[in-house]
Structures are given as C-alpha cells and as structure tokens.
Structure 1
Amino acid sequence: MEAVQANPLVTIIVPIYNVERYLDTCVESIVNQTYDHLEILLVDDGSPDDCGRICDEWATRDSRITALHKPNGGLSDARNYGIDRAHGEYIYCVDSDDWIQPNLVERALSVAQQTDSDMVVFEYNSASDDGSLVRLSDDAGKFPTKGRRTSEQALKLLWDDKVQNFAWSYLVRRRVYDAGIRFPKGYLMEDMGTAYLLYNQANAVYFLPEPLYNYRVRPNSILGVKSQAMCEGTVHFIQIIDVFAKQHYFPQLRVSELNWSIRYLSGAVIWAYESRKRFRPGEYRSFVSSTKKLIKQRIKELGVRNVTRTNLVKVSAIFLHCMPILDVVSQRRSGRML
C-alpha cells in the first residue's frame, strides 16, 4: 500500500456550454467544499451565452479557480482540455448544470486514500430542472455494497448494470488518466466509451453507496432528447467494448458483458424509434436493421439460455414490432422525477 499524502491537490474540471442559468449554483457547490485544497478548472467550451463572463468573474473571486476559454469542441474535448492542464493528484469532473454535495471531495478522497483505491464510485441524487425537488436516484437501488473491488470485479458490476458510466460519478487518481486514457471525441455517449477503460486501468475501484452528486433532470439535455447521434454513439462504443472484453475478460465475464451489449443495443433501437423524425432522411431504417443484426449475433454467441429475462422480453418486443409500447416505457423511465 502506498504512503498517503496528507493534503493532495484535487483538480475539479467543469466543461461549460450554454448553461448560464445553472452555472453559479454548480460553481458555488465546488468552492464551498469541506475539502479546500482544490484546483478548479472552468472550461468555457466556446459557449454562446454569458458563461464566459461568469467564469472570469469566478476566477477573480477565488484564487483556486482558473477560467479556460477554447473554441467549441464538445463535451469530451472540454474534459480532455482540462485533464491535460490539471496539476492535481486526483481528478474529478462535474457537469456544469448539476451541483455536488459539500463533502463530496472530502469523503471520496478519504476513502481513496484509506483503501489505496485509484477510483471511488458513488451514488447520486436526481433533481428537478429548477432544483426544488431532489431524491435518491433510481439507480441507487441496485448500487453495489460498500467495498474495494479489483478491476475485473468492478467491470462485472458495470456490465451487470449495477453502476452507470457517468463521468461525474467517480473520483480518479491522475495516474489512471496518465496511462493515455481520454474521453473519445466525435461521438455522444462518451462516458460509455471511457468508464470501462478507467476501471480496467485502476489498481482497485471502491464503491461508496452514498449520494454525493445531484444530477439535474433537464428535458432538453443530451440524454433527455434522444437523437441519431446518441443512438449511433451507443452502437459505436458497444462494438469497441465487445472487442475489448473478448480480448481481456472472456470467458470469465462473457455472460455479463454480452448481456450488457444486448441491453444497450436494444436501448439504441428504442431510442432510435423515439427520435426517428430527427434521423437524416433514409437512415432510420438502415440503423435499426443493422443494429438488430448485431443483437442477433450476440444472442447467438451467448446462447438463448444465457440471455437475461429482461433482455429476452425487450428483444422479443423489438422483433415483434412493439416499438410504441417500448417507447412509452422508455420515456416514462427517463423522464421520471418523483
């Protein structure tokens, strides 16, 4: 076990774009952390609203804050921009329309150091758009029990859908990113394309069943408004992760990962139906057809007996053309607050 540094610097990266309504609340929650040895990087990703000015004002009020301004490159590019300029031993990403609990850094850092874990993953709350309603997220009901896991054990939990991929749900020791891991650019669902790499690279992952983050459920957010890009990003990363899992974690995690793959490929088909009018002309049917083929391939590889009941029900409904029903269920789940 490595020697524990008494007061390590923690870098908090906030990618910012078109969120002037929420930004002050976010930054206030960061500067008011009970752990104060922070480097706070506000990355203005070419925001067209007043966010750039707000960032500059915060930088004059708190010496720990640096306002960074760059041309718009998307969420992944903004996070990477911050990571490349971070000086902290630990790195944490916060979405600029959300806010964090006062003890998030102190609690996660303490656990990371006490258990010599490169990553600490924690629960989150769901909040209404105006922040007036806050409750424990639906995902909390399946969150793992408290404890330190190996990379393989952590990936099994991820692929068993016990935890999600959200970049704001974990504190990471900088050396994990220094292995060459960055958020992939050019696709939505970038968290899906990053979390598994961090889990794999970490010496250990500690799961902390405490809601330390407040996720604002916004109707016009990237996840709130399904799109062709979201569907294509999902399928893109699933295929990459399938190859990665086969190379590194089969046969031991074969059933978990392939069921995860089927689950999210099915989700992509449902999201595509929901956003079919936002697809480019003629591309909706092609996307659905090719994704169904991927689902069939994975079921064949896994064997029907090893497919989870939930996946069997969802896949059956898809191939029986029950999309309107699946669409209603999906929208109720994604938009539910209290």
Structure 2
Amino acid sequence: MNEVSISVIVPIYKIEAYLSKCIDSILDQSFTDFELILVDNGSPDNCPHICDEYASKDNRIKAIHKEHGGLLSGRKEGLKNAKGKYVAYIDGDDWVDKFYLDILFNLAEVNNSDLVVTGHFREFEGKIETVKPSYSGVFGEDEIKSLILPKAMYNGAFCEHEISTYVWSKLFKRELLSEILYEVPGEIVMGEDAAITYTYLSLSKKLTISKIPLYYYRQRHDSILKSIKDTSIEFYRLGVLKNFLKVKLSPFLNKDNLSTQILYYLYSMILVRSGGLIHDASGKVIFNPFLKAKKNSKVIVYSSGSFGQHILSSNSKSNFFQIVKWIDIDFHKLNIGDNFVEPLSSIVNTEFDFLIIATINPSAFKSIKAELVLMGIDNNKIVQINTDEKEICSLFGQLGFHND
C-alpha cells in the first residue's frame, strides 16, 4: 500500500538563494497527499541547513544528505526513498504553481497514465516565456510506439522534440521509473534527462500530454555558461548517452530512425555546449555550422541565452569570427570579454557581414528572423545552421562517435 499519492523529489546543490522559494511553492500546493524528499547532494553552501530546518517543521518533508555525485545520483537517491504511487521531480532553483500537483495527479488518474507531460514557463532575468507542447491528448501503447517514439527526440525539424527531454514538468509512476532509472549510467552528465525520459516513454502503456503550464523553470546565467574544459571527456560522456539510448530504444524503433534521432539530438547538444564552432585538441576550428559565415567574417550574434553565451565564449578562444555586436530583444546587462549585450535598435546593416540567431529551434529562428527583417535587417545576412545529415555524420566520425 502506498503511503502517499506523490513523492516530490528535489535534488539540491549550491542553490541556497533559490531553495526557499522552491520549497515554499511545494508546501503551498492545493494537493496535500504528497511527501517532499529534499536530496542535499553534498552542497557546500547553506542548503543542508535549509533542508534540515524545513524538515524539522513539516513531517511531510524528508531531508537526505549525501556526498556530491551529480544530478543523476541525486535523482536516484530520491527515488530510493520514495513511497508515492507517482514521482514528480522539481529542480531546487525552480518553483511551481499552487495547482501543479493537483492537475498532474488528476491527469494521471483520470486517464490511467504511466506518464504525464505538461507545458512550463521559462523565467530569465525577470521575463517569463510560456512553452507548451505542440498538441495535447491521451495516447495508448500502440500510438506511443508508432507515432510518438519515432519522433520523440527529433520530429523532422531541427531541433524540435515530440516529447521534451526534461524530467521536471512530468509525472512518473514510481514502480515503472524504478525499472529504468538505476540503469542510467552515472557517466552521463549531459542528457541524463533524455536517457530517463525516452527510456521510460518506451515502456509506457498510456501517455497524457497537456498544454497547461504550471512549472516555472529558472534559467540562470551562472548555470548556463559552463565551458568545455576537456572535450575528450565531454564527447566520451555523450558517447555513453548515445550507446545507452541505442540499446534501450532499438527494440522499439527501426535502425535508421533511431540513428537519425540520436544523431540530431547529440548534434544539437554539441552545438550549444561548444558554441557552434567545434575545435580540435589544438584549438583549430574543424567545423563551422553557420552557413555562409566564414573565418574573419564580421558577425552580429543575436540572443544572450545559453547558445549565444557559448558562441561568444567559444569565439573568444579562436577569434574565428570578428564579433562586432551582441544584441538581444531581452536587453539586460551582460558581457563576455569585450562584448556587451546591446538593444536591437543598435544594429546598422553596413557594420556586419552576417547575423547569427543563436537558437537551434527552427520555430524560434523563423519568428526572430521575421522580426529582424521588419526592423530593416538584410534577410540575406541572416545565416542558417548546417543540418545536412551527411556533414553531421562526417563531423561525428572526426569526433570518434562512430567508434562504439
């Protein structure tokens, strides 16, 4: 017999400035039949004390302290201590709407679903963007296998997922999650959410997708800009992810479909993490994904989000492009090296050769491009990202990904 309906698991590491807001939003839920498992993942700041303090005041809260072992290990430790019928993961620097658990639970129970997927809000520098699935509905096992899973990681438009990778903004059945979570290799640091979500999806017999956004994802500068210190380790970890997905999903997908999905998913991750420009061990650029833009081109970078920051950081190492300006419609104070974010109105057509829109999402790219053209930006100067499958395969060969 389950003691509670939902086990809410919050992995915690170096987020003391945000943790109380996260916990308070969970304790304020309209739905009360839950336990809250706070997993202190060896945090060196005040997070352990915050966890213990909350646990001492509310018997629904369990504080667990462990040595630091990465986000995945925190999620595993939380599940080991969970007793709920369902599991909801919430990151400790995010927060949720008052009716978050209530709606998740109802969607799962009414539709007898193994997995519930919802929309979310993205908060960045005080501005909030609504992100919703492209469709909603209830899908049975046959539809999951034939319609959802073949497009889960790559739906034909680079880079769009049929099902988002995040484990947050979802509700899992604890027993089914226990079948797959402990098998996810600890070496997977990037893409651990995808390893969990897509493997779990392949075993699900009923899926419910809702467009209702109730989860607030906080995108922070200090969590975005993480440079690749050792590319060999980084690519090895992605190789582990590739092989795990290949082994777990091959019983459900044909070889070509699975290879294409994994290829584009890993490519998108490599682009964002590397800042687009791929360097070899000596620092030489071996792959430039920005079509038309050549070495020494005068470039404007649009967007100060994750990809934009990595482009600036990566280019500062090789000086491949001459970055003449960094702009964003969401103007705020931020600088990398000698480049400061400037408002959209500061662009002058004659000062640059090409403009890079720093997004790998094609829908976002089209929307931003249309707005830039309205502002008088030369359409021919806005560059696309190279998505040629043969060239991406060649890149992966150079990086060693064809060697299992």
Distance 2:39 2:60 in 1: 14
The answer to whether the 8 A contact 1:231-1:268 is kept is no
Cα 1:326–1:9 shift into 2, 3 Å: farther
Return the letter of the residue paired with 1:267: S
In the alignment, structure 1 segments of 5+ residues that lack a partner are 293-313
Where does residue 143 of structure 1 map in the other structure? 134
SS of 2:84's equivalent in the other structure is: coil
Match of residue 181 from structure 2: 181
- Unaligned 5+ residue runs, structure 2? 156-160, 309-327, 331-404
Aligned to 1:310: none
Equivalences, count: 297
Paired residue secondary structure (2:52): helix
Structure 2: distance between partners of 1:95 and 1:226: 22
Separation (CA, whole Å) in 2 of partners of 1:327 and 1:43: 42
- Corresponding position of 2:380: none
What SS does structure 1 have at the residue aligned with 2:181?
A: coil
Q: For each residue in 1:69-127, what CA deviation from the matched residue of structure 2 results, as whole angstroms up to 9, or x when unmatched?
A: 11111111111001011111111111000001111111011111111101101111001
Pairwise CA distance, 1:146: 2.8
Show the counterpart of 2:121.
125
Determine the C-alpha separation between the residues in 2 that align with 1:327 and 1:58: 47
The residue type paired with residue 251 of structure 2 is Q
Larger mean CA deviation between 265-274 and 191-200 belongs to 265-274
Partner of 1:311: none
Please state which structure has a larger fraction of its residues in strand: 2
Q: Residues 115 and 7 (structure 1 numbering): CA distance in 2 closer, same or farther, change over 3 Å?
A: farther
CA distance in structure 2 between the partners assigned to 1:331 and 1:197 by the alignment = 32
**What is the Cα deviation at residue 9 of structure 1?**
2.1
Q: Is the 8 A contact 2:9 2:75 kept in 1?
A: yes
Change (3 A) 1:203 1:284: farther
Distance in 2 (CA, whole Å) between partners of 1:283 and 1:206 is 48
Measured after TM superposition, the shift of residue 50 of structure 1 is 0.2
SS in 2 for 1:96: coil
Pairing 1:113–2:114 present:
no
State whether residues 166 and 197 of structure 2, in contact with CA within 8 Å, keep that contact through their aligned partners in structure 1. yes
Alpha-carbon distance between aligned partners in 2 of 1:29 and 1:93, rounded to the nearest angstrom: 14
Q: Does 1:262 align with 2:263?
A: yes
Judged with a 3 Å threshold, the aligned counterparts in structure 2 of structure 1 residues 325 and 145 are, in CA distance, closer, same or farther, namely: farther
Q: Give the stretch that moved more between structures: 234-243 or 118-127.
A: 234-243
| More helix, by proportion | 1
Worse overlay, 181-190 or 12-21: 181-190
Match of 1:296 in 2: none
The equivalences for 1:64-213 within 5 A come to 64-129=60-125, 132-137=126-131, 140=132, 143-150=134-141, 151-152=144-145, 153-159=147-153, 160=155, 161-182=161-182, 183-189=184-190, 190-213=192-215
State the TM-score, normalizing by the size of structure 1: 0.76
Q: Which has the greater radius of gyration?
A: 2
Post-superposition offset of 1:204: 1.2
| Aligned equivalents of 1:54, 1:172: Cα separation in 2 | 27
| Pairs within 5 Å for 1:267-282 | 267-271=268-272, 273-274=274-275, 282=281
Deviations 1:224-277 (A, max 9, x none): 5353466554443234323443332116xx44x444323223324423542989
Task: Measure the CA separation in 2 of the matches of 1:325 and 1:248.
Answer: 47
Code of the aligned partner of 2:209: F
SS in 1 for 2:98: coil
Residues 13-61 of structure 1: per-residue CA shift (max 9 Å, x gap): 0000000000000001111111001110001111000000000110112
Query: How far apart are the structure 1 equivalents of 2:110 and 2:216?
Result: 25
CA distance in 1 between counterparts of 2:37 and 2:206 reads 26
Cα deviations by residue, 1:199-233 (Å, 9 ceiling, x for unpaired) = 01222111111112100011121x55353466554
Task: Point out which structure has higher relative CO (alpha carbons under 8 A, 6+ apart).
Answer: 1
What is the CA-CA distance between 1:174 and the residue it aligns to?
1.0
Task: Return the alpha-carbon distance in structure 2 between the equivalents of residues 157 and 325 of structure 1.
Answer: 37
Paired residues of 2:14 and 2:44 also in contact (CA < 8 A): yes
Q: What is the 5 A alignment of 1:236-315?
A: 236-250=240-254, 254-255=256-257, 257-271=258-272, 273-274=274-275, 282=281
Distance 2:267 2:239 in 1: 10
SS of the equivalent of 1:67 reads strand
Aligned to 2:344: none
Quick one: distance in 1 between partners of 2:188 and 2:244? 13
What CA deviation, in whole Å up to 9, does each residue of 1:278-304 have, x standing for no partner? x9x92767xx97xx8xxxxxxxxxxxx
Q: Determine helix, strand or coil for the equivalent of 1:179.
A: helix
SS at 2:37 equivalent:
strand
Against the structure 1 CA distance between its residues 244 and 22, is the aligned structure 2 distance closer, same or farther, given a 3 Å change threshold? same
CA distance in structure 1 between the partners assigned to 2:296 and 2:88 by the alignment: 38
1:62 and 1:116 mapped to 2: Cα distance? 31
Q: What is the rounded CA distance, in whole Å, between the counterparts of 2:91 and 2:281 in structure 1?
A: 34
- How far apart in 1 are the matches of 2:202 and 2:110? 21
Query: Residues 230, 111 of structure 1: CA spacing in aligned structure 2 closer, same or farther, 3 A cutoff?
Result: farther
